[in-house]
Amino acid sequence: MRRTLVRNGSLYTRNLLHHSALALAASSRPQFRLFSSNENPPPVPQIDDVNNKELKAQIETYFKGDEKVLPSIMEAILKRKLSGNHEDTDDELMEELRMRPLDDVDDRDFESDFESIHDTDEEIDDLYNARDVVMKRMVKDEYFNMDDKKWDDIVEDGIKHGLLRDTKECEEILEDMLSWDKLLPDDIKQKVEVKFNELGDMCERGELEPEEAYEQFKKFEDEIVAKYLDKMEKEEASQFDDTVVPDKKKDLDDPPGEGPILRWQTRVVFAPGGDAWHPKNRKVKLSVTVKELGLSKYQFRRLRELVGKRYHPGRDELTITSERFEHREENRKDCLRTLLSLIEEAGKANKLVDDARSSYVKERLHTNPAFMERLHAKSMRLRESNQVPA
**Interface residues toward other proteins, by CB under 8 A:** 298, 301-302, 305-306, 308, 324, 338, 341-342, 345, 349, 352-353, 355-357, 359-360, 363, 367
| Minimum CB–partner distance for residue 362 and other proteins (Å) | 11
Task: Write out the E strands in the chain.
Answer: 262-266, 284-289, 311-312, 317-322
Minimum Å distance from CB 336 to other proteins?
12
CB of 33 or CB of 278, closer to other proteins: 278
> Min. distance of Cβ 287 from other proteins in angstroms?
17
Judge residue 243's burial from the number of C-beta atoms within 10 Å of its C-beta, 0-12 exposed, 13-18 middle, 19 or more buried: exposed
How far is the C-alpha of 176 from the C-alpha of 174, rounded, in Å?
5
Min dist. Cβ of residue 375 to other proteins (A): 18
Question: Measured from the CB of residue 171, what is the shortest distance to other proteins in angstroms?
Answer: 56
Nearest to 224 by CA among 179, 192, 257, 190: 192
Alpha carbon distance 158, 164 (integer Å): 5
Q: Are strands 262-266 and 317-322 parallel, antiparallel or unpaired?
A: unpaired
The residue among 189 and 297 lying less far from other proteins, judged by its C-beta, is 297
Residues 33 and 20: their CA atoms lie apart, in Å, by 18
Q: Report the residue number, 69 or 342, with the smaller CB distance to other proteins.
A: 342
Nearer to other proteins, 70 or 343 (CB): 343
Smallest distance, other proteins to C-beta of residue 259, A:
26
Sheet architecture: strand order including 284-289: 262-266, 284-289, 317-322, 311-312
Between β-strands 284-289 and 317-322, what pairing exists: parallel, antiparallel or unpaired? antiparallel
Name the residue nearer to other proteins (CB basis): 174 or 370.
370
Q: How far is the CB of 358 from other proteins (least distance, A)?
A: 11
Q: How far apart are CA 339 and CA 319, in angstroms?
A: 9
- Angle at the Cα of 61 from the Cα atoms of 60 and 65, rounded to 5 degrees: 110
Could you tell me if residue 334 is left (phi over 0), alpha (psi between -120 and 50 degrees) or otherwise beta? Answer: alpha
- State which residue, 220 or 325, has the beta carbon closest to other proteins: 325
Q: What is the spatial distance between Cα 363 and Cα 342, in angstroms, rounded to a whole number?
A: 32
In angstroms, what is the minimal distance from the CB of 359 to other proteins?
8
Q: How far apart are CA 116 and CA 161, in angstroms?
A: 44
Of 60 and 345, the one with the shorter C-beta distance to other proteins is 345
> Residue 50: CB partners within 8 Å, gap ≥ 6?
76, 79, 80
Which of residues 76 and 286 has its CB atom nearest to other proteins in the complex?
286
Helices and strands (H, E) in the chain, number of each type:
16, 4
